[in-house]
Amino acid sequence: MLNDPRSHGLWEKSAPAAPATTTLEADISTDVAVIGAGYTGLSTALHLGERGTGSIVLEAVEIGFGGAGRNVGLVNAGMWVMPEELITTLGDDYGNRLIDLLGDGPSIVWEIVRRYDIACEANPVGTLHAGVGHKGFAELAERARQWQTRGASVELLGKADAAAMLGTSFYEGALLDRRAGTIQPLAYARGLARAAQLRGARIFTQSPAIGLERDGSGWRIRTPRGSVLARQVVFATDAYTRHLMEDIAHEQVMLPYFNLATPPLSDNVARSILPGRQGVWDTKEVLLSFRFDAANRLVFGSVGALRNTGVSIHRDWAKRTMRMLFPQIGDVHFEHEWYGQIGMTSDNLPRFHRLDEGVYTVCGYNGRGIAPGTVFGRILASLLMGEIDERALPLPVVAPSPVTGRGLRSAFYEAGAQLVHLAEARI
């Protein structure tokens, strides 16, 4: 599955090999069963292991198969929602807790990478949120005001300063967030898995959880060839939830997102684009993102799925847009292409659910999975160990609430992205 050229693309080609795993073919027991080997699940297992508590991770396919292995690799602070709006939605208590927690999220990622020597091209040099037109720049100015009020290390850049950092004068300005940076996302997931194993976690791949029932004081999770008896269970499947607890996925509208990567650019050309190597995304509704990997490949992405008519539409749009932004590249062609799904909640904020007694999930990262997934894994470990109770969580515990018409809305996003990219060809 990870060798599908449109599933994981560049990240599969350039990531270190995954740690050794096997398929579950026995009936075993553990303190905590974690379903899903992405950032949240692996971080939960790692932080449980650091506390001396064993866990078993069940992964339906391979480590990082879902969003962890398909995303852009931007390690961002906070959520899409501006701080003041987030507080309005969640209230002062939860809102301030969540902002503080996720504002520090990238620093936790960088610290784990250092502590476990994870080879994942971690580059904590910041990100640039690029403003399209005067409206986009006004949005960035407001973001800067709100974050600076909270003491965050962010800086609003005018057109000239932004152009010097971006390598293009297309944008009106940019918001530099020094807390953030870029990472090789699949390599980071594999590194988390290796670290969790070092701390005692057992990871089983090709082992989907297909059944869940009470067994004494705990839960038995069935797989096609075995089962796990656990006192507590964490569902860390998010937008890629398939077999159990499908309400996790049903409360999210799926937004497709693709990435295309050039061959390595020459040093002269590469130095003219993002000389500081920050990762970038812009303020358009159908946004675009771009960043470099360690080999000077320019990774260029946007909303859309690389399937059916979307393959040629999005690829042609990316070539035109890249030539417009960076004419110094010359003839544009792509060496890798891939896409995945982002789960979007109704208010663009994550959810914390107690699905049953001793069964928990955090989901709905809205395109911000790397740092929040890592941080919420640590929070889940603290909760499961009894170090904190539910009243101390950064999110209220709520029941899943399925979205009406989510299938139609997801299809609308996919078709709408194609229409936008076709229209931009005529501008």
Q: What is the mean pLDDT of residues 151-176?
A: 98
pLDDT at 391: 93
6 has pLDDT over 70: no
Compute the Cα dihedral for 342, 345, 350, 354 and give only its sign: negative
**Global model pTM greater than 0.85:** yes
Q: What is the mean pLDDT of residues 109-115?
A: 98
Q: Any bridge partners for residue 235, and if so which?
A: 35, 361
Question: Residue 254 and residue 239: Cα distance in Å, rounded?
Answer: 7
Contact between residue 168 and residue 325 where contact means Cβ atoms under 8 Å apart: yes
Compute the Cα dihedral for 399, 405, 407, 412 and give only its sign: negative
pLDDT band at 1 (very low <50, low <70, confident <90, very high): very low
3 has pLDDT over 80: no
Closest C-alpha among 42, 39, 37 to residue 63: 37
Closest C-alpha among 64, 424, 415 to residue 254: 415
pLDDT at 424: 84
pLDDT at 405: 86
Kind of pairing between the strands at 181-182 and 74-75: antiparallel
> What percentage of the chain carries pLDDT values higher than 90?
93
Q: What is the mean pLDDT of residues 147-168?
A: 97
Contact between residue 252 and residue 344 where contact means Cβ atoms under 8 Å apart: yes
pLDDT in tens, 220-246: 999 999 999 999 999 999 999 988 999
Q: What is the mean pLDDT of residues 268-295?
A: 97
27 has pLDDT over 80: yes
Catalogue all structural domains in the chain, each as residue range(s) with its CATH number: 9-126+179-424 (3.50.50.60), 127-178 (no CATH)
Question: Residue 114 and residue 269: Cα distance in Å, rounded?
Answer: 31
Contact between residue 284 and residue 136 where contact means Cβ atoms under 8 Å apart: yes
Closest C-alpha among 196, 202, 185 to residue 45: 196
Q: Any bridge partners for residue 258, and if so which?
A: 302, 339
5 has pLDDT over 70: no
Helix, strand or coil, per DSSP, at residue 121: coil
Closest C-alpha among 12, 189, 201 to residue 113: 189
Question: Residue 299 and residue 70: Cα distance in Å, rounded?
Answer: 12
- The letter for the amino acid at 277 is R
111 has pLDDT over 80: yes
387 has pLDDT over 90: yes
pLDDT in tens, 321-356: 999 999 999 999 999 999 999 999 999 999 999 999
22 has pLDDT over 50: yes
Question: Residue 160 and residue 172: Cα distance in Å, rounded?
Answer: 8
